[in-house]
Amino acid sequence: MHDILYHRHHIEKYDHLEFPGVVPRTFIGALAISLLTSPAVLVINFLHLPKVYALIAVRLILGGFILAALWYFRVQVRRKFGGQVEAFFVILTALQFHLLFYCTRPLPNIFALGLVILAYAFWFKGNSVATLQLLIFATTVFRCDTLLLLGPIGLELLLTKSISLWEAIKCGCLTACCCIGLTLLVDTIMWRKLLWPELEVFWFNSVLNKSSEWGTHAFHWYFTSAIPRSLLVAYPLCLVGLLLDRRILRYVLPVFSFVLLYSKLPHKELRFIIGSIPIFNVSAAIAASRIYNNRKKKVWRWLFVIMLGLVFVSLGCTAITFMASYDNYPGAYALKSLHQIGQNSSTTDQWIHIDSFAAMSGISRFCESNIPWRYSKEEGILVEEYHHRNFSYLINEHPKIDGFRCLFAVHGFSRICIRTSFPPIMLLKEPKVYVHGNIKNQYINHSEWPGC
């Protein structure tokens, strides 16, 4: 999105050509968000504001799209289950950290999430064709693994006779061809080679199973760790909702099957199955509504008290997670501090090398500044090789590097500590990212720095 907004048609300057990543990704989502953000970026450039404001703008547009999809889904929840279930759906969603946290993150999973939520809305509305079309678009363009959700939902639509087999085949083939044609056209131009990105992703993750090189989890991890942390109070309520209202069962089962099928892949991350959360929240909202309506009855009164207690516990967990996430971007804070402290260091080019850890902890091209700053993300440089290079500054995870002076360190979230004193919960931080200056630079040697 940065390159589209700032380099426009000069594709040779785009970052992905030098750092393509493990697998290619489509430009379609980035193009759509950039187009909507371009008026705001024009104003930002006119006022000579830092590029980080453009980052805020693109993330607000993306978040607005996801929230708009959630709003439309909420409307369909009200039509199908009533206003009270809708109200509890909103409350439970607002209590959860991860879904809203991911809403503004420019990942293929999140572009797909918006389409999946819209598909759920049309599924509730009874529009089977639109449901399939949205899921096919998400599968072929943004996340090939959405196929694991498309399959169970498509099967449910066929078994309930919501759509005929011939209609499903016709809709599926036509939509898939259009979507594949679109991504081939756009991404072949942007990547400068004939390319269907999600086909390569499917081959890499599912056929070659190379995603496991980035870590593995047990088969049950989604059900025993990721989903409980995401749903919080909605997790037990979701199970109760299945018992209280059979109407939700036809919606939960396909989504549960999606998570179950995904569990077979060794490499697991919450963002892979984040599209399941809205449906589970609906089931939880049904349970919460029923408990609230019967709160004056003897047994239900205790259930209501337990539910209220879990709501406050969930609120506390969300607050703690929010505070932890706030301190989880030491790379970005390090670059920002270097720009502020070293802005008068020299009129000549100042080269900053950013290692992989720093880049993954908050630094993006939106964080870059103008002359004299220049940036390198060259990978594979050994620690002992840095002093042979002509970098002015280094931002990385190593506390000591030959030929460089450690100027300052930036702390990041480490772990949660439970104490007997007040406050009972402490968030502990430790040095995560270090900023080093080349000792050959006279300004660095004769200036005061915070130190490490």
Helix (H) or strand (E) holding 284: helix 277-293
Under 8 Å between Cβ of 246 and 286: no
**pLDDT, mean of residues 320-334:** 92
d(C-alpha 410, C-alpha 399), whole Å:
11
Residue-level pLDDT at 149 = 96
The arithmetic mean of pLDDT across residues 433-443, rounded, is 87
Measured CA angle at 277 (ends 414, 179), to 5 deg: 110
Residue pointed to by tokens 């607002």: 94
Confidence bin at 346 (pLDDT 50/70/90): low
Average pLDDT, the chain: 92
- Taking only the tens place, the pLDDT of each residue in 39-58 is 999 999 999 898 999 999 99
Predicted confidence at residue 344, as pLDDT, reads 62
CA 121 to chain centre: 21
User: Is residue 98 a contact partner of residue 229, using CB atoms and an 8 Å limit?
Assistant: yes
Name the band, by pLDDT with cuts 50, 70 and 90, for residue 349. Answer: confident
Is residue 345 over pLDDT 60? no
Rg (CA), the chain: 25
Structure tokens at 357: 């850890």
Residue 82 CA to residue 92 CA, distance in Å, equals 16
**C-alpha pair distances (Å), 328 with each of 19, 53, 320, 415:** 24, 20, 13, 11
Picking from 142-151, 379-388, 404-413, 429-438, which range would have the lowest pLDDT averaged per residue? 379-388
Round to whole Å and give the CA distance between 160 and 303. 34
At 191-246, the pLDDT tens digits run 999 999 999 999 888 778 788 877 889 999 999 999 999 999 999 999 999 999 99
The SS3 assignment for 347 reads coil
* Distance between CA atoms of residues 248 and 287, nearest Å: 11
The reported pLDDT for the residue numbered 380 is 84
DSSP codes, 7-69: TTT-GGG-HHHH---SS---SHHHHHHHHHHHHHHHHHHHTT--THHHHHHHHHHHHHHHHHH
Rounded (to 5) percent helix, strand, coil in the chain? 65, 10, 25
Tell me the pLDDT band of 445, cut-offs 50, 70 and 90.
confident
pTM: 0.92
d(CA 99, CA 232): 12
- Give the model's pLDDT for residue 343: 67
- C-alpha span between 390 and 438 (Å, rounded): 8
